Amino acid sequence: MREGAEKIAGEIVDLVEEEEDLLFSFEVPPEAAGTRLDRFLAERPELVAAHLSRTRLKSLIEDGRLTIGPVPVRDASRRLAAGEAVALAVPPPEPAEPQPENIPLNVVFEDAHLLVVDKPAGLVVHPAHGHETGTLVNALLAHCGASLSGIGGVKKPGIVHRIDKDTSGLIVVAKTDAAHKGLSRLFEDHGRKLHLVREYLAFVWGVPERVRGTVEAPIGRHVTQREKMAVVSEERGRDAVTHWELIESFGAASLLACRLETGRTHQIRVHMAHIGHPLIGDSTYGAGFKTKTALLSPAARGAVEALGRQALHAATLGFAHPATREELLFESELPADLAALREALAGN
């Protein structure tokens, strides 16, 4: 039954959206048969150590954070049976209300409804556990000021899609509740019926055998490594589609244009690693390819080592304006570090 509990742990991970959620999984021992669910959890040493009171556990159960087997359970008084697999996802503490911070921004478009920012690598988009300050949201609060009319009744920027901390490039942010709802519908549609273009430039290891292709493979949370995503079964993952095209080859590496049809966490990074061409500089999904730097010239090797991040840039963003319906298209040049990498690889 231990394997069953681990399987359920993997499944519940895919049910929660916060990347920092903590997962606890248990198998009900024979001596605990007939025990109330909330009491059983309150007696688990792991949950005691996490300072989770019985009241807090009951609240988590009622919020749909617990499954028994494959079934979500919201009744804290439910009696348990021996051998049942119980999994509980505990979200991190809510960060403090973000405050305006004077962080420089490269705003490429702005009107009364929204703005488009060219985000530098290293900037976290939204405050979260471990990144409560110094984020794009903090910068936007200072930049927009009184021009924010409110998202859900609160004066804050509306984030409808995110870019990884160490990925650079274009991101659109809503300033009004109406724009937030319109952009949310747009990104949920994934460009199937509504106009949406998201194209990234990715430097990857190796040269694909074809000049273009499509990766269609479900993505879900890695079962044992919580910080990672992975290609998983259809039952455990969400559908994910990436279209790619070879732009330039450098012998040991290539530059690809990757167009997202869906927008899953780490999608391009996971899909490129899945087909054997992980991103250069990606320590999470391409760590096994570090030895490939030996195939590069000293200049190219130096550019890779100086990068310090995955070589991924959100270069093109196009969408229908939620208020005016005008079709907008924005393009961002490679930032200095990736431009230097391209030049070094071209001279390899």
The per-residue DSSP string of 165-194 comes to TT-EEEEEEESBHHHHHHHHHHHHHTTSSS
Which is more confidently placed, 43 or 7?
Answer: 43
**Least confident stretch, 127-131, 171-175, 180-184:** 127-131
Active site residues: 164
Among 120, 300, 118, 123, smallest CA distance to 203 is for 300
**Least confident stretch, 43-52, 59-68, 149-158, 159-168:** 149-158
CA dihedral 277, 280, 281, 286 (to 10 degrees): 10
Q: What tens digit of pLDDT does each residue of 316-341 get?
A: 999 999 999 999 999 999 999 999 99
Q: Is the pLDDT of residue 8 over 60?
A: no
Extract the tokens encoding 336.
């200095």
Q: What tens digit of pLDDT does each residue of 282-315 get?
A: 999 998 887 888 889 999 999 999 999 999 999 9
**What pLDDT score does 12 carry?**
37
Task: Quote the CA–CA distance of 175 and 144 in Å, as a whole number.
Answer: 8
Task: Quote the CA–CA distance of 304 and 341 in Å, as a whole number.
Answer: 7
Helix (H) or strand (E) holding 9: helix 2-13
**CATH 3.10.290.10 in the chain, residues?**
2-90
Place of tokens 């409808």: 160
Q: What tens digit of pLDDT does each residue of 26-62 get?
A: 999 999 999 999 999 999 998 988 788 888 899 999 9
**What pTM was computed for the model?**
0.73
CATH of 2-90, one of 3.10.290.10, 3.40.470.10, 3.30.1370.100, 3.30.1300.10: 3.10.290.10
**What pLDDT score does 150 carry?**
61
**CATH 3.30.2350.10 in the chain, residues?**
98-189, 190-348
Q: How confident is the model at residue 236 (pLDDT cuts 50, 70, 90)?
A: confident
CATH code given to domain 98-189:
3.30.2350.10
Task: Quote the CA–CA distance of 250 and 347 in Å, as a whole number.
Answer: 8
- Phi and psi torsions of 156, nearest 5°: -155, 155
Average pLDDT over residues 226-244: 90
With respect to CATH, is domain 190-348 assigned 3.30.2350.10?
yes
Q: How confident is the model at residue 71 (pLDDT cuts 50, 70, 90)?
A: very high
In sequence order, what are the beta bridge partners of 243? 214, 259
